[in-house]
Amino acid sequence: MAGTDHTQPAADAPGPAIILVAPQLGENIGTTARAMWNCGLCDLRLVAPRDGWPSEKAVAAASGADVVLDKARVFETTAEAVADIERLYATTARRRDMVKPVFTPRGLAGEMRQTMARGDRCGVLFGAERSGLVNEDVMRAYGIVTVPLNPAFTSLNLAQAVLLIGYEWYTSADETPPGVLEIGEGTPATQGEIDGLLEHLDHELTLAEYYREPNLRPTMQKNLHNVFRRAGLTEQEVRSFRGVVARLAEWRGRRPQK
Amino acid sequence: MAGTDHTQPAADAPGPAIILVAPQLGENIGTTARAMWNCGLCDLRLVAPRDGWPSEKAVAAASGADVVLDKARVFETTAEAVADIERLYATTARRRDMVKPVFTPRGLAGEMRQTMARGDRCGVLFGAERSGLVNEDVMRAYGIVTVPLNPAFTSLNLAQAVLLIGYEWYTSADETPPGVLEIGEGTPATQGEIDGLLEHLDHELTLAEYYREPNLRPTMQKNLHNVFRRAGLTEQEVRSFRGVVARLAEWRGRRPQK
């Protein structure tokens, strides 16, 4: 989704449609739009928003996600809002006593990627802030989405719920490594460069009589060396530390005596 | 985290500490507390909140996550707020030109689970709403967390950023299956029960002369049967459909002629 075009019409959006059924507060529509655009989603559909549309409060709360609000479409009924969608999912925190597939947001993301890969449109229904979706709307859906969170406190803000669905959708196609040492413009130091630093350090520490107990020397060296070995040093950092060692050594003996 | 005790003191919380540095709006502290408690987190620390503490606006926005706000602690400096933490991470959307490990929220969750499994405390720093963390605070951290979202619109609301970190933390230990057919109190139908339904249907359809073209019969049957085979029917649903077939058959011929 990295290359999402700001000018792309919502109806052709390459992600699932987000359908808010009877949303109450304009602010929540705005924060939903912001969360959607964070995740590259821009097909927002509103069913009978309580406080009307367009909404100045929505614009203020969208914090710049105008591309989503500008393309948002308003419908009178859920049936009209989802008429063009091949596969529909309903978000709900409560068990509805319906026989349906139930997905986590992560499971849903995989499901929707597969569905959209065959060219079918997906949509996710979200209910009103306090009451959620009515059973009639849940019944329309192929499957249910439930976010597995703290069972003692499952009440998610509307935009937060949309964010979690969008986040899983977005990251399911994202290839950012889960953890990596970021070294910017620098380059990692070679083993030879690190060896050079450690030999320099040992040499100066020996001159400075740091290793007073010869039998403890191997352990003391091992402890010091391990810090530098595991730090994943860059070339620049090796040079910096050689400068530190050289400077401390140069000043040895010149410190004013107490 | 399912069994998190509401009365548990924040300082002993079994999750990472969330540290908000110089947060501006009480509302955002409240929505952060709500997002934290959604994810079972309750160790909230505030560094020099601009509008003071406690905050009525925070309480209103927390929507009942009082357990987090009640235990929140306020500090004057970041150094004091993180003094007891063994491993600290900093959230930032911008590259800081620092040599540090960079994690996605999912990578961070695994990292923190490993760190906490050896008994070490973790904390995650979040900066002020508009400006983010100052470099001095990022420098304190062992690693950086960046959420991989729409590069054209990376500005995340403070509570949304906290939610994504908390969500990944929570779900990294959650065993909810990503997708499963939910059948509530019912039990899945056996192959024999489904065979019975399909034979019943075929029998009645034959009597009703649905299969008019004998050479098309195998294809017509295959299409009908596939719907029922892939639907994952329950025992109750098989009984319901047998009732439907029987009732339609019983009424055959009695429909008023046009």
Cross-chain residue pair B182–A101, CB shorter than 8 Å: yes
Residue numbers in B near A153 (CB within 8 A): 37-38, 64-65
pLDDT at B2: 37
The verdict on B172 touching A (C-beta cutoff 8 Å) is no
Distance separating alpha carbons of residues A165 and A104, to the nearest angstrom = 9
pLDDT of res. A61: 95
Residue A178 contacts residue B110 (beta carbons within 8 Å): yes
**B103 interfacial to chain A (CB closer than 8 Å):** yes
CA-nearest residue to A40 within chain B is B150
Residues 46 through 65 of chain B touching chain A, CB cutoff 8 Å: 63-65
Residues of B in contact with A167 (CB under 8 A): 147, 149, 164, 167
CA distance A156 to chain B (A): 7
Is A14 within 8 Å of chain B by CB?
no
Q: Is B178 on the interface with A (CB under 8 A)?
A: yes
Decide if A31 and B184 are in contact by the 8 Å CB cutoff: no
Q: Does B160 touch chain A (CB under 8 A)?
A: yes
**Alpha carbon of A212: minimum distance to chain B alpha carbons (Å):** 32
Q: Which of residues 62-101 of A touch B (CB under 8 A)?
A: 63-65, 95, 97-101
Partners of B37 on chain A (C-beta within 8 Å) are 150, 153
Across chain A, which has 258 residues, the per-10-residue mean pLDDT values are 37 80 97 97 97 96 95 97 97 85 96 94 95 94 94 92 98 92 85 95 92 91 92 93 91 64
Q: Which tens digits make up the pLDDT trace of B207-228?
A: 989 999 989 999 999 999 999 9
Under the banding of pLDDT at 50, 70 and 90, the label for residue B240 is very high
* A38 within 8 A of B149, measured Cβ to Cβ: yes
* Alpha-carbon separation of residue A214 from A137, A249, B188 (angstroms): 79, 21, 74
Amino acid at A183: I
| CA nearest neighbour of B71 among B44, B47, B53, B41 | B44
| Residue B253 pLDDT > 70 | no
Please tell me the predicted confidence (pLDDT) of residue A93. Answer: 84
* A144 interfaces chain B, CB cutoff of 8 Å: yes
Specify the range with the lowest mean pLDDT, choosing from A234-243, B31-40, B96-105. Answer: B96-105
What is the complex's ipTM, to 2 decimals?
A: 0.87
pLDDT at residue A196, as a whole number: 96
Rounded CA gap, B248 and A190, in Å? 80
Which of B103, B181, B186 is nearest residue A178 as measured by Cβ atoms? Answer: B103
Distance from the first to the final alpha carbon of chain A = 65
**Alpha-carbon torsion (B107, B113, B116, B122), positive or negative:** positive
Whether B257 shows a pLDDT value over 70: the answer reads: no
Report CA Rg, chain A: 29
Residue A180: DSSP 8-state: E
Average pLDDT, integer, range B59-83: 96
Write out pLDDT tens, residues A105-116: 999 999 999 999
Q: Are strands B44-47 and B73-75 parallel, antiparallel or unpaired?
A: parallel
CB A88 within 8 A of CB A81: no
pLDDT at B256: 60
The whole-angstrom distance between A152's CA and the closest CA on chain B is 8
* The model's pTM: 0.88
Task: Take residue B228 and report the two structure tokens written for it.
Answer: 């029922």
pLDDT tens digits, one per residue of A133-156: 999 999 999 999 999 999 999 889
Within an 8 Å CB–CB cutoff, is residue B6 touching chain A?
A: yes
Q: Does the pLDDT value for residue B79 go beyond 70?
A: yes
Give the pLDDT band (50/70/90) at residue B258.
Answer: low
Instruction: Tell me: cis bond preceding A54? Omega within 30 of 0 counts.
Output: yes
pLDDT tier for residue B95 given thresholds of 50, 70 and 90: confident
B179 touches chain A (CB under 8 A): yes
Rounded to 10°, the helix A191-207/A217-230 angle is: 140
What is the predicted pLDDT for the residue at B97?
A: 80
Q: What pLDDT sits at residue A215?
A: 92
> How much is the pLDDT for A12?
45
- Residue A105 near residue A146, CB atoms below 8 Å: no
**Residue B246, both tokens:** 């029987």
Query: What are the Cα distances from residue B38, in Å, to A20, B43, B168?
Result: 21, 13, 12
> What kind and span of H or E run contains B244?
helix B235-250
B75/B255: higher pLDDT: B75
* Residue B61 near residue B90 (C-beta atoms within 8 A): no
pLDDT digits 0-9 by tens, A161-181: 999 999 999 999 999 999 988
Residue of B167, B147, B174 lying closest to B39 (CA atoms) = B167
Chain B residues closer than 8 Å to A159 by CB = 160
Is B141 part of the contact surface with chain A (CB cutoff 8 Å)?
A: no
